[in-house]
Amino acid sequence: MLKKRQGIVLNSIDYKENHKILYVLTEDGKESFLVMRAKRIKEGLLYDTQSLTMIEYEVDEKNSLAKAKNIEVLNYYNDIKNDLKKYTVASYALELIYRMVEVDEHSNVLYKLLSEVLNKLVIRDDLKVLLLEFRIKMLYFLGIQPQFKMCCHCGNTLDLVGLSISYGSMECVSHTSTDNIGLTATKIINLLYNDKTLDIKIEDDSVVNELSMIIDKYYEKHQYYGLKSKTMLEKLGCY
């Protein structure tokens, strides 16, 4: 008997004339499988196998290329797909995970984060703040999370003055780099990094923009990435 699984479709790729290969994030990690005849209208799977869809399915792993059966949609996320800005934010999240993350034993935590971000995306309008928090939390899953507890140069836990972008760690007053972002910005980033609610609001747009630029520099320093969805987010004013 095949075991039912649940996941969010990160990406789908056409395979031959009528089939698709789906790339899905589950609580157990990322996996890919073939969906036969997914592009045939009469099969009713064309819409069900789009990216940004939560599905339940069974996988037959007898062959070298696993095949999915009995696909059932749990959430189409139509409220997101029908809003260009929200859809682009969601596309960024999916693309970042699909392209950049090697899921390990913490895949269940990542799956929960993505599910919660998508649920919040339906009801929240401050998309820049939600996206900023997601990008900060993703530093952990990319393996480049900041170290907030002590100076990376001397281990001092006192007289800390902020986070260094280059070192990815706190610095003390005696060892401060030119790219240290200061204590105020560091405290906000730390708050967003550890937040469990995904409900934090930042009313000042200039603060959001400054923090977004800081996180951009952090990503560029520690993990080069160029995502197609980022360009669209910038055009829409959501980044």
What would the pLDDT profile of 23-70 be if each residue is shown by its tens digit? 999 999 999 999 988 887 766 787 899 999 999 999 887 767 788 989
Q: What is the pLDDT of residues 170-189, one digit of tens each?
A: 999 999 999 999 999 999 99
Lowest mean pLDDT of 58-72, 73-87, 190-204, 218-232, name the range: 58-72
Both structure tokens of 82: 């029908």
Q: Has residue 101 got a pLDDT over 80?
A: yes
Alpha carbon distances (Å) from 203 to 166, 208, 233: 28, 8, 20
Give Rg (Cα) of the chain. Answer: 20
Helices (H), the chain: 78-81, 84-100, 107-123, 127-141, 183-194, 205-222, 228-236
Predicted TM-score (pTM) of the model is: 0.94
pLDDT at 42: 65
For residues 2 and 15, the model is more confident at: 15
Q: Going edge to edge, which strands form the sheet with 160-164?
A: 147-151, 169-172, 160-164
- Over range 228-235, report the average pLDDT: 93
Distance of CA 148 to the CA centre of its chain: 21
pLDDT for 154 equals 97
Higher per-residue pLDDT: 158 or 103: 158
Q: Supply the mean pLDDT for the chain.
A: 93
CA–CA separation, 24 and 217 (whole Å): 29
- pLDDT for 105 equals 79
The predicted-structure confidence for 133-165, as pLDDT tens digits, reads as follows: 999 999 999 999 999 999 999 999 999 999 999
**DSSP run (H or E) holding 145:** none
Range 91-117 average pLDDT: 93
How does DSSP classify residue 198? Answer: S
- Name the H helices within 52-83: 78-81
Mean pLDDT of 125-133: 97
Note every long-range contact of 209-217, with CB atoms under 8 Å and residues 24 or more positions apart, other chains counting: 210/185, 211/132, 211/185, 212/128, 212/132, 212/135, 212/239, 214/165, 214/181, 214/185, 214/189, 215/132, 215/135, 215/136, 215/189, 217/165, 217/179
For helices 84-100 and 127-141, angle between their N-to-C axes, nearest 10 degrees = 10
> What is the average per-residue pLDDT within 107-125?
97
For residue 16, what pLDDT band results from cuts at 50, 70 and 90? confident
At residue 61, the pLDDT reads 76
Flag whether pLDDT at 1 surpasses 60.
no
